[in-house]
Amino acid sequence: DTEVTQTPKHLVMGMTNKKSLKCEQHMGHRAMYWYKQKAKKPPELMFVYSYEKLSINESVPSRFSPECPNSSLLNLHLHALQPEDSALYLCASSQDVVSEQFFGPGTRLTVL
Amino acid sequence: KNQVEQSPQSLIILEGKNCTLQCNYTVSPFSNLRWYKQDTGRGPVSLTIMTFSENTKSNGRYTATLDADTKQSSLHITASQLSDSASYICVVRTLDSNYQLIWGAGTKLIIKP
């Protein structure tokens, strides 16, 4: 298996909802990432996990809560989001933090 | 400040034609430079990766060049196809303790039949 999978593909949620985004890879990669991408902009790094430990948090608001249950899975828990949080959320993984990153197809999130 | 600038911002060409996209960077210390292709609403896919010592690298109809002295890179697409319509993003990795990725804003390429 040489791909990163993300679920769901699309998500619409209200500002009071709690939802989670999921990411999975079976390439044996030990680094996993969450990015946020607004339209016509490059991806912005949110979080980096290395060996299942959070190593980088790019000053992301606490309404986004990452979780790495094991080396293959990465979750992003969402709570009390704002409409401006609507974006494409990309997950990526790499052998380690200095190796090439492989991206998933993304989750298109809309906050109403 | 580490920056990656791409030009043009957008480009429309006819199917079968060639095109060249530009990337200028002011990133130090430099580790490597990647070109990604991103279809609308999808994740980026790596096309090429180049280190300091590499001048040219090809991947099918895609050829990337790197001039480390002038800190410029280009991506040349030969005999364009409709499926080449996408955003092409230049990304430079730093060689510091954070191994940070510096992303360009991308070039939106549209191939018309």
Strands A107-111 and A10-13: parallel
pLDDT band per the 50, 70, 90 thresholds, residue A57? confident
pLDDT band per the 50, 70, 90 thresholds, residue A1? low
Q: Does the distance separating the beta carbons of B45 and A103 come in below 8 Å?
A: yes
* pLDDT of residue B98 exceeding 80: no
**Beta carbons of A20 and A64 less than 8 angstroms apart:** no
The partner residues of B86 in beta bridges, in order of sequence, read B109
User: Each residue of A12-42: pLDDT tens digit?
Assistant: 999 989 999 999 999 999 999 999 999 989 9
User: Each residue of B72-86: pLDDT tens digit?
Assistant: 999 999 999 999 999
Q: Does the distance separating the beta carbons of A88 and B41 come in below 8 Å?
A: yes
Query: Among all residues of chain B, which has the CA nearest to that of A96?
Result: B99
Among candidate residues A27, A2, A6, A14, the one with its CA nearest the CA of residue A86:
A14
Residues 6+ apart with CB under 8 A from A20: A75, A76, A77, A78
The partner residues of B9 in beta bridges, in order of sequence, read none
pLDDT band per the 50, 70, 90 thresholds, residue B50? very high
Number of Cβ within a 10 Å radius of residue A103: 22
Task: Compute the distance between CA of residue A53 and CA of residue A70 in angstroms, rounded to an integer.
Answer: 10
User: Each residue of B30-39: pLDDT tens digit?
Assistant: 889 999 999 9
Copy the structure tokens of residue B12.
């429309």
Closest-CA distance of chain A to residue B95, Å: 9
* pLDDT of residue A90 exceeding 80: yes
Residues 6+ apart with CB under 8 A from A84: A111
pLDDT band per the 50, 70, 90 thresholds, residue B95? confident
Helix, strand, or coil (residue B83): helix
Q: Does the distance separating the beta carbons of A45 and B41 come in below 8 Å?
A: no
What is the CB-side half-sphere exposure of residue A50 using CA atoms within 13 A?
Answer: 8
**Beta carbons of A37 and A87 less than 8 angstroms apart:** yes
- Per-residue pLDDT, averaged over A88-95, amounts to 96
